Structure 1
């Protein structure tokens, strides 16, 4: 399969052809997150609180899957760009194997820690009970998530974004259809409440993996999973983790942030925990859509980096950045103009609606600035510079925002937590801009 088009085709059409399927699938995935939460919210506000508290653990599992998958994707694409097909096959095989091991370990550890984890944030036994009901089922699908996302990144590495889009959309649609059926017991389906939401999610994730396996068998791609390469090789494993660990930490940091902010907000009222949970559901529309652009950018950038096309690498970055700024600008306007409408999808509680609207209007001030951090972190991952990517995310999710949220909550009250968001985005954007042009932008050196 000839992939020289990666370094020959005009950048904008190439980027759009790679990114748009991912943007569409990420948008549908965002829609699933919203609909899933809307149905859970109809059970009770306690159920929504439980979902908000479980979110960091779910996000951590997805982060490990996607983060290590980014390593698989980048290394495969760089090998393909350098014309090393055998090394690309080894990377795909060993990367998939390692991610499955991650899934097994996470299932075991997750089931052990969840009771004490939930008890850290609430004494409400109803909320804890619902959280355990949801998380127990969700955690059982961890290995399936790992395998599915590994295949996603392998397909993306060879430029097959349409299959990835179809697979992701299939899982989301299955989830959306099953949610009301299993939560409320419509027709012959059992009424499972919050457990039904978790089961619907797991079945949707399984559907995505099944579709990848069918396509891989019936329509073989350029990169092969070979049993001869299952024996782990130190050089291959090192390259995967060199990118995968920082990328995983990048993805996992929001989980740490949400847990830290939940602890701060819970000292004021559970209402603010719900508001933060709703915000993170809503912001997936923006950041998952932007992430679709990043996923389209990564294999192109990695391939051209491997092919030593430095000038083209810089142009790919700038084109992606301009598009992501546009996405964030639209999100800013929507959140500022109609915050109560957005919040009302999840709650009818007047206090939650009022506080949620205030939070959205404050937080959205940092959306456009975050474009610099988001695109720069993705570019560093694509180029194998995992440490720089992690540094950007660590600043964004830990170093700036958590201390700022704590200090501002003590000085100006709970709304200070929301102001910490845009402050962190602006500071991190400045540092990300400097890092990019120091390490990549000026020389584009390989």
Structure 2
């Protein structure tokens, strides 16, 4: 009952939110909290598959571990479309243009599902050849291929649900997706052991069962999500004819979304390359890095929540032509992120060794992980600043700027520094590179937001977008 009441309270609070006037801090927190919960649920989603396949056998566990980065890359290729839709819905909602917001949402769903079918089809036929590039056993290769091919077939459902979450967030509602994701998580957790090990008349499917459970849970989640989006008071008032493909909207979504897809793809490649560098050292160094990343990822929930809340609030204020308020909320959010995460950093730094020993007592692994945390943890505040301003640039529609900041931070700064540090110092050189790139990335994001030539074009971009949508609406 306590959890149910908390959700009802959040629903009520978001219903009363005005993102374009009044307080900045209160709506920022109310928007960010459900996003943090959503990301936490998604992490548990993957942990459940990993747990049950770990019980099933090491080859399946190795296969799913290898498959996750490739599954992320498949999603990243199409990820820009839902983000683009969220930005346009936020801007039109802020401009009090509900019909245009609905048109933006419908076109996002149309082209998002198309992209999911195309990318999923390519993934189904290509994953076997891509996995052949890895130095893995034939058994692991076969199992990873089976898992990824089934996930590829379910990619339209995954993209569809990402689009649903993004569009609701753009309208200012980050609460509605949370209970749907909880239901999807519960279904996946129930189906996993049944389909993996077999039960009653259900045959034993192994890793294919994990993939089927995931795809089934995501498909049902998107059916519930779309029902709410189209047929409830929490929806956007989408009309059936608005799903008709509109080439002018395809150009708009591509222009806004492609940079984000490049950003997410580049992020995934950078993560894998960094792991390759770490993998050249001892098993203890690799394990220590893995534990450190798990601890760091919990902070990532908070930074993503703040970033997405800033993206929505910035988009709505730009749509309402309140550029000064949009700028102010970005600075305020960055200050909140830096301050709160710095306090968390101090606590984590002091408690680094006890935290690591929750995962392992192997002393060399503990030493590597604690050293990693002692270098990276002090930059928590910088991580929050960088993601805050990246969210702000997306809200304005400057997704190219956001992508350049992220790819510069991870590809131009972090990877070369990590390679050089690994050669000269060892694993600790990689830890130093990660910390330095966080600081330099935050500096770059702040400087670009403070001094970059984006303000002059921001309202002009929104005005031109409104004119194009007006033409679309009149055609309808």
Mark yes or no: TM-score above 0.5.
yes
What is the deviation of 1:228? 2.5
Residues 292 and 282 of structure 1, relative CA distance in 2, 3 Å threshold: same
Q: Which has the larger radius of gyration?
A: 2
For 1:421 and 1:123, locate their aligned partners in 2 and report how far apart those are by CA, in whole Å.
Answer: 28
* Equivalent residue, structure 2, for 1:261: 274
1:18 to 31, 51, 55: 31
Q: Which string of whole-angstrom CA distances, capped at 9 and with x for unpartnered residues, describes residues 276-303 of structure 1?
A: 5665555442223321232223222211
* Equivalent residue, structure 2, for 1:87: 100
| Conserved 8 A contact 2:196-2:207 | yes
The worse-fitting range, judged by mean Cα deviation, of 268-277 and 300-309 is 268-277
> Structure 1 regions of 5+ residues with no counterpart?
none
For 1:385 and 1:12, locate their aligned partners in 2 and report how far apart those are by CA, in whole Å.
Answer: 23
The worse-fitting range, judged by mean Cα deviation, of 326-335 and 140-149 is 326-335
Residues 288-437 of structure 1: matches in 2 within 5 Å?
A: 288-325=301-338, 326-327=340-341, 329-330=343-344, 333-334=347-348, 337-338=351-352, 341=355, 345=359, 355-437=368-450
1:162 to 172, 175, 190: 175
> Structure 2 regions of 5+ residues with no counterpart?
1-14, 460-476
Equivalenced residue count is 444
Residues 233 and 310 of structure 1, relative CA distance in 2, 3 Å threshold: same
For 1:291 and 1:177, locate their aligned partners in 2 and report how far apart those are by CA, in whole Å.
Answer: 28
What is the deviation of 1:405? 1.9
Q: Which string of whole-angstrom CA distances, capped at 9 and with x for unpartnered residues, describes residues 247-281 of structure 1?
A: 22222222111222243344446776666566555
* Equivalent residue, structure 1, for 2:83: 70
Residues 444 and 34 of structure 1, relative CA distance in 2, 3 Å threshold: farther
Residues 445 and 160 of structure 1, relative CA distance in 2, 3 Å threshold: closer
Residues 223 and 174 of structure 1, relative CA distance in 2, 3 Å threshold: same
For 1:340 and 1:125, locate their aligned partners in 2 and report how far apart those are by CA, in whole Å.
Answer: 39
For 2:314 and 2:242, locate their aligned partners in 1 and report how far apart those are by CA, in whole Å.
Answer: 26
Residues 90-101 of structure 1: matches in 2 within 5 Å?
A: 90-101=103-114
User: What's the C-alpha RMSD, in Å, of the aligned pairs?
Assistant: 3.3
Residues 165 and 323 of structure 1, relative CA distance in 2, 3 Å threshold: farther
| Conserved 8 A contact 1:366-1:421 | no
| Conserved 8 A contact 1:121-1:262 | no
For 1:39 and 1:30, locate their aligned partners in 2 and report how far apart those are by CA, in whole Å.
Answer: 15
What is the deviation of 1:338? 4.2
| Conserved 8 A contact 1:343-1:356 | no
For 1:286 and 1:361, locate their aligned partners in 2 and report how far apart those are by CA, in whole Å.
Answer: 15
Is the aligned partner of 1:250 residue 2:242?
no
Residues 189 and 409 of structure 1, relative CA distance in 2, 3 Å threshold: farther
| Conserved 8 A contact 1:52-1:277 | no
| Conserved 8 A contact 1:158-1:222 | no
Q: Which string of whole-angstrom CA distances, capped at 9 and with x for unpartnered residues, describes residues 307-361 of structure 1?
A: 121232123213332443324652674476246755865x788766665555444
Q: Which string of whole-angstrom CA distances, capped at 9 and with x for unpartnered residues, describes residues 143-202 of structure 1?
A: 101111112222222222221222222223333344444445577765444333333322
The worse-fitting range, judged by mean Cα deviation, of 331-340 and 198-207 is 331-340
| Conserved 8 A contact 1:367-1:422 | no
For 2:209 and 2:291, locate their aligned partners in 1 and report how far apart those are by CA, in whole Å.
Answer: 20
| Secondary structure of 1:437's aligned partner | helix
Residues 113 and 172 of structure 1, relative CA distance in 2, 3 Å threshold: same
Residues 88-237 of structure 1: matches in 2 within 5 Å?
A: 88-185=101-198, 190-221=203-234, 223-237=236-250
Q: Which has the higher contact order (CA 8 A, sep 6+)?
A: 1
Residues 28 and 317 of structure 1, relative CA distance in 2, 3 Å threshold: same
| Secondary structure of 2:175's aligned partner | helix
What is the deviation of 1:412? 1.9
The worse-fitting range, judged by mean Cα deviation, of 178-187 and 147-156 is 178-187
| Conserved 8 A contact 1:362-1:419 | yes
| Conserved 8 A contact 2:310-2:388 | no
What is the deviation of 1:388? 1.0
What is the deviation of 1:391? 1.0
For 2:190 and 2:363, locate their aligned partners in 1 and report how far apart those are by CA, in whole Å.
Answer: 30
TM-score, normalization: structure 1?
0.86
